[in-house]
């Protein structure tokens, strides 16, 4: 559930949470338990030790978590303004890591979320609108979380912790958004799983400002933009990059309004970044 100072807090099958240390063999093999791991523990005189770690379905490095079902990307309609490039990059990162993405639009009490919803509904990903301040939209959000392990991600100040507090009963610290630079203060001190009454677990992640994509090539990028998938094989040129070539099915769909302009711009920007990466960096 959480790890602090070399101690790991494990929820066992009996419902109790045990404080455990990792066996020395893990240090020898340079394996560190991660939040979200499914583990075997042994108890002796009330003290626990992690004896085995099951194979992980997926992992994220930042924050270090494992076995995530859903990556819920939280964006605010305002204060701070949505960073669409970063949001799109994180959606690709979720796909690359075999984690189902979803988009949560917060602060609809300040500004309606219709414009953002219009962009992301074209992806086919679940999109929900909420207001943590007005405590609205939680009934729409909860079905996405039930029975799953969901990581909340987004820029500082978008309201991840505020939404989680509504879901978990005010167990996270929140921070105000700076009026001067319209960014939030980081309030997440460590990664921790919180159990929902409806079943499932949620966790907050530290506010992020960058996320690098690794292990994918420029020509593979289109596969991680679901709204581009029905264009495969329809372009004039085989291996079309959907950036420079004429008679491109993706650009045709864009012109017809089937792809959001900002999503295509994100695709082009990411494609060019991946093209610049040297082969040994991939």
pLDDT digit string (tens) for 186-240?
Answer: 444 578 899 999 899 999 876 554 566 767 999 999 999 999 999 999 999 999 9
When computed from its CA atoms, the radius of gyration of the chain, rounded to whole angstroms, is 21
Residue 179's pLDDT is 40
Residue 174's pLDDT is 47
Give yes or no for a contact between 72 and 198, defined as CB atoms under 8 angstroms apart. no
Token look-up 């987004």 returns 154
Residue 208's pLDDT is 53
- Beta strands 70-76 and 100-106 are parallel
Residue 107's pLDDT is 97
Please state, in angstroms and rounded to a whole number, the distance separating the CA atoms of residues 96 and 176: 32
Kindly state the tokens that stand for 211.
């996320």
Please state, in angstroms and rounded to a whole number, the distance separating the CA atoms of residues 40 and 246: 57
Give yes or no for a contact between 27 and 59, defined as CB atoms under 8 angstroms apart. no
Using one digit for the tens of pLDDT, what is the confidence trace for 128-143? 999 999 999 999 999 9
Burial of 196 per CB tally in 10 Å (0-12, 13-18, 19+): middle
Residues 6+ apart with CB under 8 A from 222: 228, 229, 231, 232, 242, 250, 267
Residues 6+ apart with CB under 8 A from 105: 75, 76, 77, 113, 116, 117, 127, 128, 129, 130
75 in helix, strand or coil? strand
The vertex-113 CA angle with 108 and 114, nearest 5°, equals 145
pTM of the model: 0.87
Going residue by residue through the chain, which has 282 residues, state the pLDDT in tens, using 9 for 90 and above.
999 989 999 999 999 999 999 999 998 888 999 999 999 999 998 789 999 999 999 988 777 899 999 999 999 999 999 999 999 999 999 999 899 999 999 999 999 999 999 999 999 999 999 999 999 999 999 999 999 999 999 888 899 989 999 999 865 554 444 344 344 444 445 788 999 998 999 998 765 545 667 679 999 999 999 999 999 999 999 999 999 999 999 999 999 999 999 999 999 999 999 998 755 454
Report which of 200, 140, 160, 173 is spatially closest to residue 72, judged by C-alpha positions.
160
């Amino acid at each position: 559930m959480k790890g602090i100072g070399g101690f790991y807090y494990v929820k066992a099958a009996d419902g109790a949470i045990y404080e455990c240390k990792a066996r020395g063999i893990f240090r020898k093999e340079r394996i560190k338990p991660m939040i979200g791991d499914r583990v075997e523990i042994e108890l002796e005189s009330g003290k626990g030790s992690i004896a085995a770690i099951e194979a992980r379905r997926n992992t994220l490095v930042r924050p270090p978590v494992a076995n995530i079902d859903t990556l819920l990307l939280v964006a605010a309609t305002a204060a701070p303004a949505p960073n669409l490039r970063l949001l799109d990059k994180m959606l690709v990162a979720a796909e690359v890591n075999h984690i189902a993405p979803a988009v949560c639009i917060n602060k609809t009490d300040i500004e309606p979320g219709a414009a953002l919803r219009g962009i992301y509904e074209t992806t086919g990903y679940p999109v929900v609108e909420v207001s943590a301040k007005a405590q609205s939209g939680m009934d729409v959000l909860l079905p996405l979380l039930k029975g799953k392990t969901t990581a909340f991600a987004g820029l500082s100040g978008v309201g991840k912790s505020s939404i989680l507090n509504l879901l978990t009963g005010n167990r996270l610290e929140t921070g105000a958004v700076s009026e001067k630079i319209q960014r939030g203060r980081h309030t997440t001190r460590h990664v921790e799983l919180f159990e929902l009454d409806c079943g499932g677990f949620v966790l907050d992640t530290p506010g992020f400002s960058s996320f690098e994509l690794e292990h994918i090539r420029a020509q593979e990028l289109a596969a991680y933009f679901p709204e581009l998938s029905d264009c495969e094989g329809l372009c004039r040129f085989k291996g079309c990059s959907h950036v420079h070539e004429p008679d491109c099915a993706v650009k045709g769909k864009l012109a017809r309004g089937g792809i959001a302009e900002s999503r295509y711009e994100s695709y082009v920007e990411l494609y060019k970044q991946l093209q610049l990466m040297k082969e040994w960096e991939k």
